[in-house]
């Protein structure tokens, strides 16, 4: 019934809170000494009234707040009146004597257990922040009563309501109670190892004078410190007038005291301390394998005592991570709805075929159809990867877990935490099935690797059959329905081909990782230049092949003085007009046209359909060849430079590993394989450009016809539509005929988007269009002409309008209208009923890590904390709040 830090302290016996403290203690983190009364002790104590408690919990109406309060009071009375029996009391007294001899003050904390571990307090899915009681500065004779009150706190009205709202049962609960040495800290803090509002991987610290209850329960003002991965510290320092500390008059218990004048406007932490605490947070995060919410106190000697660590609860159903770190290479800057819609379609067919080739069943593929169709997002005119959709899709591949971190580093380049798929099952049968799937996946991967080269050759051959007669062929002379039908047929056939490019990319990532591991295990740490040199040689990459063909055209011009004179005189457009009219030598003209026909889909930002490529602007090829003519470069020189680079790399490899021929041979083999994967990747990228080039031809031909028929003012306007809108207008599957009206809306959207500050990566936790971070949406603060603007700390994203309801204390009489925005000085768990009924929450006190902030995020209620002057808002005023930026705009004062 009692365990100490020298015992196992498993979570099913002592709860997650104390089990994690045991892990921290074992890892060398400073944890105040403690012992725990286990869940079994609770069951033994309440056994005489257990049936009555179960009966009351079955009878309660969870939707009737008064009934919840009535049942809670009765259950708590039963628990607290059921005194500790003699043996339990003796065991508790003996444990106190062993651990805390003398008159030491202790903290008595609770941790609620449930029938299922994942439903217990401080599990990875449920924090239950502030729902259970804790008692600080407890004297020896007050420990039994504090233990009984901790036991009963599992049945508080807020705890019962919280469980009901989350669909969790209140039956079968137990409470473990920890009795811990009270650390007399002068400063306390809550630390998140990722931003609790956005999950960005920066440390957020809320720190105040006195003990942690003042920080967590919003009883005192706090400073905020934001520490990024580079160790840069941003601070938000407030005036701190009060703190919670030991009631020295009684010798125990809490009292509110004044912060000394000299400390009120001084940062609670120095920048160096904030950086050091961030390092401790990362160490704890690595220990538990997930972002952490950590509570700690600092004693006058500067020592950090950790009193709690629990996972940051990631909400996969509401939370989404967006990144353009990789996709911006293909779609830089703003782009049009048409490009986005075609790109989204391409990503869907590409990944569907990839999963099929990896052995995913048709049933699973059908279940993922919505996910693979939404791998991209369109935010403020820019294309982003939906990391949330990608990870959900890739989680069906058993081999992905082993490559997750490499995928994050090479593909997603994430600085934001996200909810990862569940670990492999724990039951023997579940593990057996998982291992069987893993074995099948390895077998499929081996087969894909063995057949990759012939598969890619077949892909190249089949695609060329599809596109050969279509390069540059779509025109406004063809009927719109014929163009649409041909487009759909091409994309249908492409859907059975393109997955091999991702299979190749998968092996490229693996090969890259293996090379890094071999180099590092052989003592080679700095290898960026060596890597580049050893990737030279082999089959010419498609991009280099296209460039060298242009250089060959330049050499042909340079060899013929008359041709050179004509080709390099006048403007590039004029030269093309002469060439197009057949006034240049026939052989050169044929060669030039052949280049345009074969490589005409190359261009600047070539996947953006609204941008022209060489096929559309052939005079750009004239200009490029003229530059090559002037430079004097030759194909022989360029290929020779590549061979020299390779030779230098081979020599450097021999120098670095002189006595390790086996390692050198393995690296040469791996680099040869990586060069093959790179060749296929670049070839696939150009074939993708051809697919997009063909699509642009069809779409622009349709735009021309709609312009001729008076539907669009300009053929280029077609790119401001999306594909379904355009095709739906043609074949009757659309939902509007007013394409010109849509074009004007999109034009305004894009004009606005070009003025916005883009983000490489961000997260949303609400309606996406309303919760994009402020600096991605606009670099300006709200317009003050709209009304008074107050500023606090955004804690749960979302923009809402409503009427201010200023509440001094929670009660059933304070029922809120549906459009109410709750305004309070601070909240605690007793406010939960009102918080859940509000449209938004604004508090004058509190931190990003306080009860208000945590509850707002948990239930997706736009929330702003730490708003000076919030209580001066007139009740009934019309407000708009932005939970991402922390702005509270008073649109119209009430009378």
* Residues 496-509 pLDDT 10s: 999 999 999 889 88
Written as one string, the DSSP assignment of 472-492 is: TT--TTS-HHHHHHHHHHHHH
Confirm if 3 and 35 have CB atoms less than 8 A apart: yes
Q: Would you state the pLDDT for residue 420?
A: 66
Contacts of 50 (CB under 8 A, 6+ apart): 43
pLDDT in tens, 285-322: 999 988 999 999 999 999 999 999 998 877 767 788 88
Q: Would you state the pLDDT for residue 829?
A: 62
Which tokens go with 209? 């004078």
pLDDT in tens, 200-215: 788 999 999 998 776 7
Q: What is the DSSP letter of 4?
A: E
| 3-state secondary structure (DSSP) of residue 579 | helix
Contacts of 555 (CB under 8 A, 6+ apart): 634, 635
Confirm if 394 and 400 have CB atoms less than 8 A apart: yes
Which tokens go with 606? 């070539």
Per-residue pLDDT, averaged over 645-650, amounts to 90
Per mean pLDDT, which range of 81-85, 588-592, 692-696 is the poorest?
Answer: 81-85
Question: End-to-end CA distance of the chain, in Å?
Answer: 61
In this predicted structure, the answer to whether residue 860 has a pLDDT above a threshold of 80 is no
In this predicted structure, the answer to whether residue 784 has a pLDDT above a threshold of 50 is no
Mean pLDDT across the chain: 88
Q: Pick the more confident residue, 131 or 872.
A: 872
Per-residue pLDDT, averaged over 743-769, amounts to 87
Confidence of residue 410 (pLDDT cuts 50, 70, 90): low
| 3-state secondary structure (DSSP) of residue 810 | coil
Quote the CA–CA distance of 499 and 505 in Å, as a whole number. 10
In this predicted structure, the answer to whether residue 717 has a pLDDT above a threshold of 70 is yes
Which tokens go with 219? 């009883």
Confidence of residue 779 (pLDDT cuts 50, 70, 90): very low
Give exposure, 171-188, as e/b (b: 16+ Cβ within 10 Å). Answer: eebbbbbbbbbbbebbbb
Confidence of residue 849 (pLDDT cuts 50, 70, 90): low
Quote the CA–CA distance of 542 and 551 in Å, as a whole number. 14
In this predicted structure, the answer to whether residue 799 has a pLDDT above a threshold of 90 is no
Per-residue pLDDT, averaged over 97-115, amounts to 90
Q: Would you state the pLDDT for residue 828?
A: 67
Quote the CA–CA distance of 419 and 319 in Å, as a whole number. 8
Q: For residue 54, what is the enclosing H or E element?
A: helix 50-59
Q: Would you state the pLDDT for residue 76?
A: 93
Give the Cα-Cα-Cα angle 760, 763, 764 (nearest 5 degrees): 135
Q: What is the DSSP letter of 523?
A: T
Q: Would you state the pLDDT for residue 868?
A: 84
In this predicted structure, the answer to whether residue 783 has a pLDDT above a threshold of 60 is no
In this predicted structure, the answer to whether residue 384 has a pLDDT above a threshold of 70 is yes
Which tokens go with 743? 């074009």
Q: Would you state the pLDDT for residue 780?
A: 44
Per-residue pLDDT, averaged over 27-37, amounts to 96
In this predicted structure, the answer to whether residue 465 has a pLDDT above a threshold of 80 is yes
Cα distances from 433 to residues 430, 437, 440, 823, in angstroms, run 5, 6, 11, 52
Q: Would you state the pLDDT for residue 214?
A: 61
In this predicted structure, the answer to whether residue 171 has a pLDDT above a threshold of 90 is no
Per-residue pLDDT, averaged over 593-603, amounts to 90
3 state SS for 194-216:
CCCCCCECCEEEEEEEECHHHHH
Give exposure, 775-787, as e/b (b: 16+ Cβ within 10 Å). Answer: ebbeeeebeeeeb
| Longest CA–CA separation in the chain, Å | 112
Instruction: Enumerate the β-bridge partners of residue 762.
Output: 322
Which tokens go with 197? 């509002």
Instruction: Enumerate the β-bridge partners of residue 799.
Output: 882
pLDDT in tens, 212-234: 776 766 678 889 999 988 899 99
Strands of the sheet with 820-824, listed across from one edge: 788-791, 887-892, 878-882, 799-806, 820-824, 840-843, 863-865, 793-796
Confirm if 679 and 455 have CB atoms less than 8 A apart: no
Which of 518, 544, 546 lies closest to 673, judged by CA? 518
| 3-state secondary structure (DSSP) of residue 617 | coil
Confidence of residue 846 (pLDDT cuts 50, 70, 90): confident
Domain annotation for the chain: domains and CATH numbers:
2-181 (3.30.1490.20), 187-311 (3.30.470.20), 320-524+658-747 (no CATH), 542-634 (no CATH), 768-892 (3.50.30.10)
Quote the CA–CA distance of 380 and 378 in Å, as a whole number. 7
* Exposed/middle/buried for residue 321 (C-beta within 10 Å: 0-12, 13-18, 19+): buried
Q: Pick the more confident residue, 359 or 760.
A: 359
Quote the CA–CA distance of 502 and 351 in Å, as a whole number. 8
With pLDDT > 70 as the criterion, what percentage of the chain qualifies? 93
| 3-state secondary structure (DSSP) of residue 121 | coil
Per-residue pLDDT, averaged over 848-867, amounts to 77
Q: Would you state the pLDDT for residue 284?
A: 97
In this predicted structure, the answer to whether residue 813 has a pLDDT above a threshold of 90 is no
Which of 652, 588, 665 lies closest to 621, judged by CA? 588
Q: Would you state the pLDDT for residue 25?
A: 96
Per mean pLDDT, which range of 563-572, 716-725, 851-860 is the poorest?
Answer: 851-860
Confidence of residue 369 (pLDDT cuts 50, 70, 90): very high
In this predicted structure, the answer to whether residue 561 has a pLDDT above a threshold of 60 is yes
Written as one string, the DSSP assignment of 428-478 is: HHHHHHHHHHHHHHHHHHHHHHHTHHHHHHHHHHHHHHHHGGGTTT--TTS
Confirm if 652 and 512 have CB atoms less than 8 A apart: no
Per mean pLDDT, which range of 119-133, 347-361, 499-513 is the poorest?
Answer: 119-133
Contacts of 793 (CB under 8 A, 6+ apart): 224, 236, 847, 848, 853, 864, 865, 866, 886
Q: Would you state the pLDDT for residue 776?
A: 47
Cα distances from 365 to residues 345, 399, 455, in angstroms, run 16, 17, 22
Q: How many CB atoms lie within 10 A of CB 10?
A: 14
Gyration radius of the chain's alpha carbons: 33
Q: Would you state the pLDDT for residue 793?
A: 83
β-pair type (320-323, 761-764): antiparallel
Q: Would you state the pLDDT for residue 99?
A: 93
Q: How many CB atoms lie within 10 A of CB 754?
A: 11
Q: Pick the more confident residue, 250 or 416.
A: 250
Written as one string, the DSSP assignment of 372-406 is: HTTSEEEETTEEEEEHHHHHHHHTTSTTHHHHHHH
Confidence of residue 468 (pLDDT cuts 50, 70, 90): confident
Q: Would you state the pLDDT for residue 123?
A: 76
Per mean pLDDT, which range of 412-426, 647-661, 754-768 is the poorest?
Answer: 412-426
Q: How many CB atoms lie within 10 A of CB 627?
A: 12
Quote the CA–CA distance of 206 and 216 in Å, as a whole number. 9
Q: Would you state the pLDDT for residue 13?
A: 94
Q: Would you state the pLDDT for residue 195?
A: 84
């Amino acid at each position: 019934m009692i365990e100490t830090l020298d015992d196992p302290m498993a979570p099913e016996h002592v709860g997650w809170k104390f089990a994690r403290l045991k892990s921290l203690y074992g890892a060398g983190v400073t944890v105040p000494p403690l012992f725990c009364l286990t869940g079994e002790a609770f069951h033994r104590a309440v056994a005489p009234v257990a049936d009555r408690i179960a009966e009351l919990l079955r009878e309660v109406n969870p939707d009737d707040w008064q009934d919840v309060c009535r049942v809670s009071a009765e259950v708590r009375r039963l628990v607290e009146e059921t005194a500790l029996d003699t043996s339990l009391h003796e065991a508790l007294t003996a444990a106190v004597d062993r651990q805390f001899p003398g008159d030491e003050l202790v903290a008595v904390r609770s941790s609620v257990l449930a029938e299922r571990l994942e439903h217990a307090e401080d599990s990875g899915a449920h924090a239950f922040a502030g729902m259970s009681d804790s008692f600080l500065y407890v004297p020896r004779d007050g420990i039994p009563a504090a233990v009984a009150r901790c036991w009963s706190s599992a049945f508080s009205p807020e705890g019962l309501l919280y469980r009901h709202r989350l669909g969790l049962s209140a039956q079968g609960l137990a409470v473990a109670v920890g009795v811990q040495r009270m650390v007399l800290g002068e400063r306390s803090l809550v630390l998140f190892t990722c931003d609790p509002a956005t999950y960005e991987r920066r440390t957020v610290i809320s720190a105040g004078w006195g003990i942690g209850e003042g920080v967590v329960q919003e009883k005192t003002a706090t400073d905020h410190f934001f520490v990024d991965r580079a160790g840069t510290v941003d601070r938000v320092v407030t005036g701190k007038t009060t703190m919670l500390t030991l009631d020295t008059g009684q010798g125990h218990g809490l009292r509110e005291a004044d912060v000394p004048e000299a400390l009120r406007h001084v940062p609670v932490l120095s920048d160096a301390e904030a950086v050091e605490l961030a390092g401790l947070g990362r160490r704890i995060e690595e220990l538990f394998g997930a972002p952490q919410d950590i509570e700690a106190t600092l004693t006058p000697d500067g020592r950090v005592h950790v009193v709690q660590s629990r996972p940051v609860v990631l909400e996969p159903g509401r939370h989404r991570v967006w990144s353009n770190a990789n996709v911006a290479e293909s779609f830089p800057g703003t782009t049009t709805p048409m490009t986005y819609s075609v790109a989204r379609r391409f990503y869907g067919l590409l990944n569907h075929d990839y999963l099929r080739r990896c052995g995913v069943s048709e049933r699973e593929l059908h279940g993922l159809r919505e996910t693979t169709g939404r791998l991209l997002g369109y935010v403020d005119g820019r294309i982003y990867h939906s990391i949330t959709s990608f990870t959900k899709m890739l989680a069906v591949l058993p081999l992905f877990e082993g490559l997750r971190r490499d995928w994050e580093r090479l593909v997603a380049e994430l600085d934001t935490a996200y909810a990862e798929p569940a670990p492999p099952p724990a039951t023997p049968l579940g593990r057996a099935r998982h291992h069987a799937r893993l074995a099948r996946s390895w077998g499929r991967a081996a087969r894909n690797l063995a057949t990759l080269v012939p598969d890619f050759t077949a892909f190249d051959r089949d695609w060329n059959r599809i596109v050969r007669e279509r390069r540059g062929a779509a025109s406004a002379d063809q009927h719109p329905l014929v163009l649409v039908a041909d487009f759909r047929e091409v994309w249908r056939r492409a859907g059975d081909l393109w997955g091999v490019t991702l299979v190749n990319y998968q092996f490229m990532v693996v090969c890259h990782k293996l090379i890094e591991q071999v180099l590092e295990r052989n003592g080679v740490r700095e290898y960026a230049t060596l890597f580049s040199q050893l990737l030279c040689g082999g089959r010419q990459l498609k991009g280099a092949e296209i460039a060298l063909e242009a250089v060959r055209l330049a050499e042909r011009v340079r060899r013929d003085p008359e041709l050179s004179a004509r080709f390099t005189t006048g403007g590039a457009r004029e030269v093309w007009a002469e060439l197009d009219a057949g006034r240049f030598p026939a052989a050169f003209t044929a060669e030039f046209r052949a280049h345009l026909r074969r490589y005409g889909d190359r261009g600047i930002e070539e996947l953006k359909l609204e941008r022209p490529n060489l096929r559309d602007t052939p005079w750009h090829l004239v200009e490029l060849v003229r530059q090559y003519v002037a430079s004097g470069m030759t194909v022989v020189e360029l290929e020779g430079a590549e061979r020299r680079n390779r030779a230098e790399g081979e020599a450097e490899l021999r120098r670095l590993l002189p006595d390790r021929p086996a390692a050198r041979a393995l690296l040469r083999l791996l680099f040869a394989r990586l060069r093959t994967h790179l060749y296929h990747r670049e070839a696939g990228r150009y074939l993708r450009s051809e697919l997009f080039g063909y699509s642009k031809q069809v779409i622009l031909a349709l735009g021309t016809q709609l312009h001729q028929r008076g539907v669009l003012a300009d053929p280029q306007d077609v790119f401001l539509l999306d594909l379904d809108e355009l095709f739906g207008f043609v074949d009757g599957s659309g939902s509007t005929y007013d394409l010109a009206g849509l074009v004007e809306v999109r034009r305004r959207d894009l004009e606005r988007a070009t003025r916005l500050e883009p983000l490489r990566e961000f997260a949303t936790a609400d309606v996406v269009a309303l919760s994009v971070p402020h600096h991605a949406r606009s670099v300006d603060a709200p317009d003050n002409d709209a009304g008074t603007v107050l500023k606090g700390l955004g804690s749960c994203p979302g923009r809402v309008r409503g009427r201010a309801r200023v509440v001094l204390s929670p009660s059933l009489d304070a029922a809120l209208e549906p459009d109410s925005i709750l305004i309070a000085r601070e909240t605690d768990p007793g406010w939960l009923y009102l918080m859940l009924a509000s449209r938004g929450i604004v508090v004058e006190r509190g931190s990003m890590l306080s009860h208000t902030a945590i509850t707002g995020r948990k239930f997706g209620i736009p929330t702003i904390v730490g708003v000076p002057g919030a209580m001066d808002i007139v009740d009934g005023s019309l407000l708009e709040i932005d939970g991402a930026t922390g702005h509270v705009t008073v649109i119209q004062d009430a009378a």
